[in-house]
């Protein structure tokens, strides 16, 4: 089969590799859609601790079951959608309702969706892979994983229709926050950023948009501020937009070893809650799937077009340069 291999930061090649054979409980899918992700872009630009190199990468997917191991929960020909990890459901964190922090959640993760075939380990196939409804396109189904991360954050919040929300960063995740919060009935969602094309997508999803240079603290502040850039500077700045008693969600992951500084007086005396959600548990995955299956929930404005595996290097150069949001590989 053909697969994109991330050799080292800045270097991708298309390679012929053997088609995996599923063992007990495992599922092999023929990839129909694999969407690009900010994490994969980080790996391409500077490496990533969870993405070994050289090796296959890509972890957002949907497809059709091509082969199964004994006892697998699907049959050949089933259309499926899934995420790239699953909690053990037995460790300290899982038993305390924090499956996203499971001590082995990354030990069995799926990597390599930018390929013709993808092998799903038994634990993930059993817990976090689902039938894909016929009414849901493979492209939309492939967005289950990033949307689950957004759902995890929102499940930790108390969102009210009257909230004033500021989202900082118009990347794919920031736009998914816009779509999810508007879907939940939040009236005022403001999206701030520098990329005008991405801000226009935010407007299509229902946000009021601001160019970063025009973003200033106003009025009493926002009830909820969601940071989606992964920039230490924006982490630090985000608190200045929160109202007293508000919540700041520090969603974007900053480079390892970096530190952020906050006005401790502001955090303490204005009782600002800081939340930094990581990954997702099974409840968030199921919430995201329900959103995707709702005909009134539309993430199609996020997709920047389909690409062939041969286009892999150019796709990530475009993403590096801020051209497009999420591309769809159709191996």
pLDDT value of position 288 = 98
Q: Tell me: pLDDT of 213 over 80.
A: no
Cα Rg of the chain, angstroms: 20
pLDDT in the model for residue 108: 85
Strands 61-68 and 79-82: antiparallel
Confidence of residue 277 (pLDDT cuts 50, 70, 90): very high
**Residues 206 and 165 reside in one and the same domain:** yes
Please state the domain count of the chain: 2
**Domain at 199, CATH number:** 3.40.50.720
Q: What is the pTM of this model?
A: 0.95
Q: What are 112-139's pLDDT values in tens digits?
A: 999 999 999 999 999 999 999 999 999 9
Distance CA 287, CA 50 (A): 25
Q: Are residues 139 and 162 in the same domain?
A: no
User: Residues 204, 100: one domain?
Assistant: no
Assign residue 289 the CATH number of its domain. 3.90.180.10
31/142 same-domain check:
yes
pLDDT tens-digit map of 166-181: 999 999 999 999 999 9
Do 31 and 105 share a domain, yes or no?
A: yes
Contact of 212 with 228, CB cutoff 8 Å = no
| Mean pLDDT value of segment 75-96 | 98
> Are 285 and 271 in the same domain?
no
Q: Which pLDDT belongs to residue 218?
A: 77
Note whether 131 and 246 are same-domain residues: no
Which domain covers residue 18, as residue numbers? 2-148+280-329
221 pLDDT above the threshold of 80: yes
What is the pLDDT, as a whole number, of residue 252? 92
CA torsion, points 292, 294, 297, 300, in degrees to nearest 10? 50
């Amino acid at each position: 089969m053909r697969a994109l291999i991330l050799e080292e930061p800045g270097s991708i090649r298309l390679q012929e590799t053997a088609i995996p054979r599923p063992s007990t409980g495992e599922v092999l899918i023929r990839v129909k859609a694999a969407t690009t992700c900010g994490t994969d872009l980080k790996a391409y630009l500077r490496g990533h601790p969870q993405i070994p190199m050289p090796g296959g990468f890509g972890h957002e997917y949907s497809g059709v079951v091509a082969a199964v191991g004994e006892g697998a929960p699907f049959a050949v020909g089933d259309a499926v959608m899934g995420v790239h990890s699953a909690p053990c459901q037995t460790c300290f964190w899982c038993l305390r309702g924090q499956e996203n922090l499971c001590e082995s959640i990354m030990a069995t993760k799926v990597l390599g969706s930018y390929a013709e075939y993808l092998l799903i380990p038994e634990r993930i196939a059993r817990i976090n892979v689902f039938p894909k409804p016929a009414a849901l396109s493979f492209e939309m189904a492939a967005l289950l994983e990033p949307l689950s991360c957004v759902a995890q954050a929102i499940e930790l919040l108390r969102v009210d229709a009257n909230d004033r929300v500021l989202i900082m960063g118009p990347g794919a995740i920031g736009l998914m926050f816009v779509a999810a919060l508007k879907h939940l009935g939040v009236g005022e969602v403001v999206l701030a950023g520098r990329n005008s094309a991405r801000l226009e997508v935010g407007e299509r999803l229902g946000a009021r948009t601001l160019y970063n240079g025009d973003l200033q603290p106003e009025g009493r502040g926002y009830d909820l501020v969601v940071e989606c850039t992964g920039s230490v500077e924006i982490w630090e700045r985000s608190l200045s937009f929160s109202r007293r008693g508000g919540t700041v969600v520090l969603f974007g992951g900053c480079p390892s070893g970096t530190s952020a500084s906050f006005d401790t007086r502001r955090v303490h005396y204005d009782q600002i809650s800081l939340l930094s959600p990581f990954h997702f548990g099974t409840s968030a995955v199921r919430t995201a799937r329900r959103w995707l299956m709702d005909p009134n929930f539309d993430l199609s404005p996020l997709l920047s077009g389909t690409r062939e595996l041969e286009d892999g290097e150019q796709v990530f150069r475009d993403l590096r340069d801020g051209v497009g949001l999420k591309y769809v590989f159709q191996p």
